Amino acid sequence: MFRRSAAVVLVAVGMLGCDSKNDGPAEVARAKHDGVSAAATIVAGEDTHSRSGNLSYYRFTLAVRPDDAGAPFTRESSTLLNSYDAVRYPIGAQVRIRYLADNPLYFAFE
């Protein structure tokens, strides 16, 4: 009986690790396709030196202005970029983004 219970617990714990909110590449892809569109200004940015394949995680502080006339807000969030593309996003740049209303950790550039 104990072994079956332990197996059930292990399966349940294993499934918790599959939550897409903890999966950076999946969340960036979800933001790109399903995220809320907005204008933003890059306030700060840095390479986190963390990688996913040939892409790098960059952390940005963004002053976000939602397209739906919602109140502007500031968000610190990460996205995946090719290191050669990072120069396209300097501090002060006006950009278009897609952000996840239910997960502030990730966003995507449009």
pLDDT digit string (tens) for 58-76? Answer: 999 999 998 887 889 999 9
| Confidence (pLDDT) at 39 | 95
| Confidence (pLDDT) at 96 | 95
Kind of pairing between the strands at 107-109 and 55-66: unpaired
Residue 104 one-letter amino acid: P
| Domain CATH code at residue 55 | 2.40.50
**Structural domain harbouring 103:** 20-109
- Location of structure tokens 């204008």: 39
Is residue 76 situated within a structural domain? Answer: yes
8 pLDDT higher than 50: no
Under a CB-based contact definition with an 8 Å cutoff, are residues 84 and 56 in contact? no
- The rounded mean pLDDT for the chain is 80
pLDDT digit string (tens) for 13-43? Answer: 333 333 344 578 899 899 999 999 999 999 9
Under a CB-based contact definition with an 8 Å cutoff, are residues 23 and 85 in contact? no
Is residue 102 situated within a structural domain? Answer: yes
Is residue 14 situated within a structural domain? Answer: no
Q: What totals of helices (H) and strands (E) does the chain contain, helices first?
A: 2, 5
> Is pTM, for the whole model, over 0.95?
no
Is residue 46 situated within a structural domain? Answer: yes
d(CA 39, CA 99): 10
The total domain count for the chain is 1
Distant-in-sequence, close-in-space partners of 88: CB < 8 Å, separation ≥ 6: none
Is residue 10 situated within a structural domain? Answer: no
